[in-house]
Structure formats: C-alpha cells, structure tokens
C-alpha cells in the first residue's frame, strides 16, 4: 500500500564540544545503598535556561504535523525548549541521539502521546522517568547513558524493543519488568553493563532476543548467585547473546527449543555440551573459548540433531591450534550441513 511521501527535515549540528554533567565515581549499583529515586520532572536548573537560546530558530525548521523529529548531535541539554506540544497529534518518532540530555522530563514527553519510538542513545541520563504519558511507545533506546536501575517502564504495554546497552546496571530487581511490558517485550539488549546474573527475567514469556554480552556473568545455572536464572521459562527465546562474559559451562537451555542463534563467544567454556536438543539452531558462535577437543562435534551439532545449522564459529580455541591444518577439514566432515565456518564459506565437494 503506497502512501504519499512526507517531507522529512533533519537538523544536524556541527560536532560539538560536549560539556556533560559530572559523572559519579565508578561503582556497581548492587553495592550502593538502595534509596528511593525521586521524580526529576520538576527540576529546573540554569542549564535549562541556557539551552533555550536559539532553540526557537532551530525548531522553526519543522512543521507542526511532523511525524519524525531528528535532532541528532546538537548539544541539547533539555527537552524543555523543544516545544513538543506543537507535534502532539502526529509525532511518532523522536531522535535525540548524541546530545547532553541528563533528565527525562515528563512534562515534555507527555505532550507527544502517540510517540512510538524514542531514541536517547548517548546522552547523560541517570534515571529513567517521564514516560507515564507515552503508553504507545514501541521502541525505547537508552543505550550509552549513566543508568544504574531499570525503572518506571512497567506500564509500557506496547513496547517490544528496549535498548539499555552500555549503562551501569549491575542487577535486575523483581519489579523492573513486571506489568504490561512483561507481555509486550520481544527484544531486550543489556550488553556492556555490570550484570553478574540475569535474575527476574523468567516471566518474560514472549521474549525472543536477549543480548547480555560484555557483562560479568559466570554461569548459566539457576541455583547460584552469579547465574542466568529462569532461562527455562523463556520458551519463546530465539536469539541468545552471551559473549564476553565468564561462563565456564554451557547448560540450562533445556526448554529453549526455539533458539536459532546461540552466541557464547569469548567466554571460558571448555566442552561443547547440552545443546544437541536445539533442533532449530542455525547460528552457533563459540569462538575464543577454551574448547580443546573437536573430535565429537557431531554428537552435539551434527545434522541428525541440527539439520538447519548454517554457521559455526570455533576459531580462537585451543583445538584450532592443536589441529593446525586439519582444523577446517575435520569440522566440515563432522558437520556436513554447515555453509560457513568462522569467517569463511565452506566449499562443498
């Protein structure tokens, strides 16, 4: 179905010299004293006033009926002077990437109740707030900020994609993903935080993609403190990304029969085991672990178990060095169904 092409205005400033608010000392939030987070929507500072200078001229480039505002890299410190109420009937996408915003103001965000995508990637936000009036939100990107706790998003019953990459989140609390968002969420990205376990995700029954690379996770079991707990209840999960952690044993995937991608690259796994039941797997990334034996790959990854397996990464393991020039040939004989080994396509005889 074709639609009339709408005018799209993008305003991109010169590369700014960022003057961000001071950042707290590097400490894990799990070691901090739990305090009741206050609402910051009413806070006003002199920086808000300074930010207003020239903002009227900037926003005059947009029509009142815009569906998308792209305000990337403009040194914006606050949404206060964007006059978002002008776009209350039509705005669906708001891009505020790479600015200096430190506060999510409910007074402003509530003016655009039909917002479907909000992008605040690479700002200085410390607290998630101000989204009470944005129940139509579908995609929320808060990556590369200073967030320590997931909060005030449980009411977002249409949100299917949430990006929280590269923040300072050390643990997930029992109430962080309750409410309507527990049903709507399909993709959750938590890579590059300080997580040692993934507790309190077991109720996200519709979750399909989970990214937790570059954290501090050391186990996939469900009976210790540093674990990925409740994974067996995430039966809809299709993609699981666990790279750059400290995982030593691959286990706990018994109920995840819908997995098509399993990435545990750059961990400390020694043996490929407990995955033979993943019949739908097409991507298996196990490079840069401590796997020292590939003589029994077919028992776990062979075509009788994984007929749809296409790509396997095993480079950077001790077994590759031990097998030397026989490495590729041995893997291909064990896994004749694959089309790619490491970064190279397999040549069929």
Q: Which are the contacts of 161, defined by CB distance < 8 A and separation ≥ 6? A: 138, 139, 140, 185, 186, 187
pTM of this structure: 0.76
Backbone φ and ψ for 250, nearest 5 degrees, come out as: -90, 115
**Of 216, 286, 292, 218, which is closest to residue 248 (Cα–Cα)?**
218
Contact (Cβ atoms closer than 8 angstroms) between residue 2 and residue 105: no
| CB of 275 closer than 8 Å to CB of 303 | no
146 contacts 126 by C-beta, under 8 angstroms: yes
For residue 157, give the nearest of 125, 183, 127 by alpha carbon. 183
pLDDT tens for the chain, 349 residues long, are: 444 444 344 444 444 444 444 444 444 444 444 443 444 444 444 455 556 667 888 899 999 999 999 999 999 999 999 999 999 999 999 999 999 999 999 999 999 999 999 999 999 999 999 999 999 999 999 999 999 999 999 999 999 999 999 999 999 999 999 999 999 999 999 999 998 887 888 889 899 999 998 877 776 543 222 344 457 788 999 999 998 888 888 888 999 999 999 999 999 899 999 999 999 999 999 999 999 999 999 999 999 999 999 999 999 999 999 999 999 999 999 999 999 999 999 987 6
Closest among 218, 215, 231 to 167, alpha carbons compared: 215
């Amino acid at each position: 179905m074709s639609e009339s092409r709408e005018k799209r205005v993008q305003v991109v400033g010169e590369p700014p010299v960022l003057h961000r608010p001071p950042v707290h000392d590097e400490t894990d939030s799990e070691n901090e004293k739990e305090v009741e987070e206050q609402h910051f929507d009413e806070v006003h500072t002199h920086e808000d006033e300074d930010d207003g200078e020239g903002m009227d001229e900037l926003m005059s480039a947009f029509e009142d009926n815009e569906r998308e505002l792209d305000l990337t890299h403009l040194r914006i410190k606050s949404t206060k002077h964007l006059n978002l109420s002008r776009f209350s009937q039509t705005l669906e996408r708001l891009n505020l990437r790479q600015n200096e915003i430190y506060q999510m103001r409910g007074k402003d965000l509530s003016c655009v109740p039909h917002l479907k995508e909000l992008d605040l990637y690479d700002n200085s936000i410390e607290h998630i707030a101000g989204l009470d009036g944005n129940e139509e939100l579908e995609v929320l990107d808060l990556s590369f900020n200073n967030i320590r706790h997931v909060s005030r998003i449980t009411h977002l019953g249409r949100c299917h994609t949430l990006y929280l990459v590269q923040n300072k989140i050390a643990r997930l609390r029992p109430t962080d993903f309750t409410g309507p968002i527990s049903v709507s969420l399909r993709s959750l990205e938590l890579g590059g935080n300080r997580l040692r376990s993934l507790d309190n995700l077991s109720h996200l029954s519709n979750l399909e993609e989970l990214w937790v690379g570059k954290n501090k996770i050391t186990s996939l079991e469900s009976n210790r403190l540093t674990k990925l707990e409740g994974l067996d209840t995430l039966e809809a999960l299709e993609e699981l990304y666990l790279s750059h952690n400290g995982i030593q044993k691959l286990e706990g995937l018994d109920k995840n029969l819908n997995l098509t991608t399993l990435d545990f690259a750059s961990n400390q796994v020694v043996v490929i085991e407990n995955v033979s039941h993943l019949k739908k797997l097409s991507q298996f990334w196990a490079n840069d672990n401590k796997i020292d034996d590939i003589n029994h790959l077919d028992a776990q990854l062979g075509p009788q178990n994984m007929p749809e397996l296409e790509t396997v990464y095993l480079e950077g393991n001790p077994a590759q060095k031990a097998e030397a020039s026989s490495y590729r040939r041995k893997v291909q004989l064990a896994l004749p169904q694959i089309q790619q080994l490491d970064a190279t396509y397999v040549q069929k005889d």
